[in-house]
A and B are shown apart, each in its own frame.
Chain A
């Protein structure tokens, strides 16, 4: 049996596959990971299918064991501290957890919000409408991962093999840097005047502590619209920078509603959504407008990074005992 026992899980820890897609037109929130890059990387480190369900660990971390014997798993926890017994592990790692060992993932000084833990073949759970993504607000999906839970891998046949090394992944940083998020203006950029566009680009903004999987509220310069903040509802994409009546923008994230009635001055590009998702409250950043072509090129570069991570793997060695 390949099982993972949760000794301690903070709030906002859930199972997530790539999302419950195909039901936006029926008002269903897709959910899925906050940081799609780390989610995909966790699955790739275990050679899982891309849509395998992964534990998305909230900001306070997770402690777990493998009570039934050695368990192969992958952790992608940028900015977190990851320890297995006395071993300090890098934030992106494929490892074997022996019976009796504890894996401890906790907030680190570098700061990250969401960590991902993958099991061989994915975490087993009954799909709801074709997906193992959890949306707590509507009650769709497997639900939260809580202290005391025991989780099963889909593919017990790929349990830990003798002599399989622990491997850490060190990825080189990508431009433009963590203090700048790129966005494509629209779909309602024309409802904002030059002052609001300038304020958005000057910043600085920071994620407010009043944020969750649905939306990241931002603190920073307000963005008044020219003729009010009510529009007839239209669709909402993940990353939409939406501005309600008080002018304080918020960015719609994985648990967003499919439609809404506030104007959206821009949309954070997909390549930079993981950076935004991992920003701790209070860390300053600014927005940079880019073209669709630049956004697509950045997405391609990020996909290439996912596809070609292998050369960046390093075998980890630890002192015995």
Chain B
């Protein structure tokens, strides 16, 4: 690759560090590595960072932190050999793939040429990393979806996707935090809430964190949904297995 990473200006108060222009888990790892390095040693005048699959947007106060200083600092971090983003915590989320929560499992199976059970086994068997949040609060975009589950979006978006829906499209996977319209395919649901506005932290899982799904049957899931509705935090930290 030539020319990457490169710096693009989004006005005088935001800088985009671009690692590429496509979706590629290796680019996402570079983005998260820089993000974590900047979070580990905060820079005065650097206000917020927003990771995506291919770039890191840095919002800054140019009256405190001049652009040249910011770029110099990032250049230094990158030249130290980008640290690999292994510090993400590993979480386990209870998930149910029962047909009542998997509206599109038939369509996904037909389109990918896999049996429905195989679709579920692939999705439930993978380890993902939260690359970014986007679209709406707590919508977690993941890397790590098995390539066999790649398929295009629905021709017509759904009016409403329920909270906790596990959705896939375009080779990407999302955990949907709240009800919103979407053209992605629903193949399961988690009872864990990625966005809890009344609690601290409101977002238990951070970009860079890794997660796995723990399949449960419909009966157990109903009980978990009730506990989630009562405000219980259902994601479980997997101890002693940080990183890759």
User: In A17-36, which residues have CB < 8 Å from any B CB?
Assistant: 21-29
B9 contacts partner chain A, Cβ-Cβ < 8 Å: yes
Q: How far is the CA of A210 from the CA of B135 in the complex (A)?
A: 21
B12 in contact with A296 (CB, 8 Å): yes
Contacts of B202 in A (CB 8 A): 23, 26, 129
B9 in contact with A184 (CB, 8 Å): yes
A299 in contact with B10 (CB, 8 Å): no
B238 contacts partner chain A, Cβ-Cβ < 8 Å: no
B52 in contact with A184 (CB, 8 Å): no
Interface residue count on the B side (C-beta < 8 Å): 43
A259 in contact with B50 (CB, 8 Å): yes
B207 in contact with A231 (CB, 8 Å): no
Given A22-B48, A232-B54, A237-B57, is A292 in contact with B23 using a C-beta cutoff of 8 Å? Answer: no
Encode contact with A along B165-185: 1 for CB under 8 Å, 0 otherwise. 000000000000100000000
B195 contacts partner chain A, Cβ-Cβ < 8 Å: yes
A140 contacts partner chain B, Cβ-Cβ < 8 Å: yes
A235 in contact with B52 (CB, 8 Å): yes
Contacts of B48 in A (CB 8 A): 21-22, 24-25
Given A234-B55, A257-B134, A299-B63, is A24 in contact with B50 using a C-beta cutoff of 8 Å? Answer: yes
A292 in contact with B9 (CB, 8 Å): yes
Q: How far is the CA of A270 from the CA of B22 in the complex (A)?
A: 30
B63 in contact with A295 (CB, 8 Å): no
A267 contacts partner chain B, Cβ-Cβ < 8 Å: yes
Tell me which of A25, A234, A236, A268 contacts B18 (CB under 8 A).
A234
Q: How far is the CA of A27 from the CA of B138 in the complex (A)?
A: 6
Encode contact with A along B192-206: 1 for CB under 8 Å, 0 otherwise. 000101000011001
B59 in contact with A24 (CB, 8 Å): yes
- Cβ of B177 to closest chain A Cβ, rounded Å: 8
Contacts of A300 in B (CB 8 A): 63
Q: How far is the CA of A258 from the CA of B14 in the complex (A)?
A: 12
The closest CB in chain A to the CB of B203 belongs to A26
B13 in contact with A237 (CB, 8 Å): yes
Interface residue count on the A side (C-beta < 8 Å): 42
Majority-rule SS of B interface residues: loop
Tell me which of A185, A264, A296 contacts B62 (CB under 8 A).
A296
A269 contacts partner chain B, Cβ-Cβ < 8 Å: yes
Contacts of A269 in B (CB 8 A): 11-12
B236 contacts partner chain A, Cβ-Cβ < 8 Å: no
Encode contact with A along B204-220: 1 for CB under 8 Å, 0 otherwise. 00110000000000000
User: In A174-222, which residues have CB < 8 Å from any B CB?
Assistant: 183-188
B53 contacts partner chain A, Cβ-Cβ < 8 Å: yes
- Cβ of A283 to closest chain B Cβ, rounded Å: 22
Encode contact with B along A229-255: 1 for CB under 8 Å, 0 otherwise. 001111111011000000000000000
B137 contacts partner chain A, Cβ-Cβ < 8 Å: yes
Contacts of B14 in A (CB 8 A): 235, 237, 267
Q: How far is the CA of A268 from the CA of B54 in the complex (A)?
A: 24
A186 in contact with B10 (CB, 8 Å): yes
Contacts of A233 in B (CB 8 A): 52-53, 132, 134
Q: Show 26 residue pairs from A and B whose CB-CB distance is below 8 angstroms, ordered by the A residue.
A: A21-B48, A23-B202, A25-B51, A25-B133, A26-B137, A26-B195, A27-B133, A140-B197, A187-B10, A232-B22, A232-B23, A232-B53, A233-B53, A233-B132, A234-B57, A235-B14, A235-B16, A237-B14, A237-B57, A258-B50, A259-B50, A267-B9, A267-B10, A270-B11, A300-B63, A303-B63
Please report B residues at the A interface, Cβ cutoff 8 Å. Answer: 8-14, 16, 18, 21-23, 47-57, 59, 62-63, 66-67, 132-139, 177, 195, 197, 202-203, 206-207
